[in-house]
Amino acid sequence: MKEDLNPFVISQLQFDRAADHLKLDAGLRNVLRRPKRSLIVSIPVRMDDGSVHVFEGYRVQHNIARGPAKGGIRYHPNVSLDEVKALAAWMAWKTAVVNIPFGGGKGGVICDTRKMSRSELERMTRRFFFEILPIIGPDRDIPAPDMYTNAQTMAWMMDTYSMTVGYSSLGVVTGKPVSLGGSEGRNEATARGCLFTIQEACRVKRMPLKGAKVAIQGFGNAGSIAARLLHQVGAKIIAVSDTRGGVVNPRGLDPIKAIRHKERSGSVVGLPGTSRIRNEELLELKCEILVPAALENVITAQNAANIKARIIAEAANGPVTPMADEILTRKGVFLLPDILANAGGVTVSYFEWVQDLQSFFWEEHEVNAKLEKVMKRAFREVHETSLKYRVHMRTAASILAIGRVADATIVRGLFP
């Protein structure tokens, strides 16, 4: 049987599995499995050479029953409406897993940032944000950084919104520079939240994290910081990779040196004291912990049987397919699903939004302590759900999250 790797199809399959366990009625299922609002926009931009290029962008709000939509905006050549719809759905469940008062949204622009100048990126960003502005706002939909967007992107978006409404609105986006109302600890939040769930998984599996061999696919913000944080608590990072390839050293490598090497050369490939390895090979290395921190659908029915890790922590969104989930479960692999493992980012985005609205800001140690409390509570609740329903952790996380959104939807009722 051939797998359908369309991310929206996968997200709906995951939803249906959880909905079956919750015994949701057909009407409620139809409400929760569909995006509430999908906006497609054209983005005309004058390029540096004087020509006008029209980009296509999206903003999808999957569900806002529990609060404003929340979710990142990504810039990538392969962005599609179905991908953004899937990511918006996963965000709706992610915010519910960690029990923060947001719904789920996501956005994207089809573009290749590597071929664009800074001024072209700024003009595209400002025009895109202006085009989606009718559905954006600190009490409506709060975007954040994602793939190939960053704090500077958010600063441009915040300024565009503020210039349009006529006053500075710090809470309209999160992931901003600290000088514009960003939160201390936000840059590390996704990776730090992932670390907290890995620590809890090791406790459940009665496996020491100190000395555990870790392979990390993807060496962007989440992957590189996860490598550093895991190294700090005594884990042994044996392999890392980026879009150009990976490197491995069974005796362990220094993630700080890997980060500096990538900053100088543009890739981890060539890091002294390591051997080159393909991304596909990294996934199948013998290790205790595997952290997919890149794109969707990297572990499928084709390679799941070859995975040797005892714990998989999804720092990326959707790296493991539904068929792979079942294979990994039969192999006894303990999987930390994306809507739990990488929820640290949206949790600290929530903290940032709260600080912006209050104009009262916290120190980094306060942010990290609050994040640890949220992530470890969420892990316990998902694990308890897993034991109660006798399902693997992904389905358990979906059951917990969808149950919370369903309860909010039922209590609110249908309008009119």
Q: Which of 106, 176, 213, 262 is catalytic?
A: 106
Burial class from Cβ neighbours inside 10 Å (0-12, 13-18, 19+) for residue 25 reads exposed
- Phi/psi zone of residue 260: left (φ > 0), alpha (ψ -120 to 50 degrees), beta? alpha
The closest alpha carbon to 240, from 210, 219, 260, belongs to 219
Cβ atoms 335, 320 nearer than 8 A: yes
Tell me how many helices (H) and strands (E) the chain has: 14, 12
Using DSSP's 3-state secondary structure scheme, residue 232 falls into helix
- Alpha-carbon distance of 132 to 216, in angstroms, equals 35
Using DSSP's 3-state secondary structure scheme, residue 147 falls into coil
Active site (annotated) includes residue 106: yes
Interior/surface letters 149-165, b for 16+ CB within 10 angstroms, e for the rest = bebebbbbbbbbbeeee
- Alpha-carbon distance of 257 to 264, in angstroms, equals 11
- Alpha-carbon distance of 24 to 44, in angstroms, equals 44
- Alpha-carbon distance of 157 to 138, in angstroms, equals 12
Catalytic residues: 106
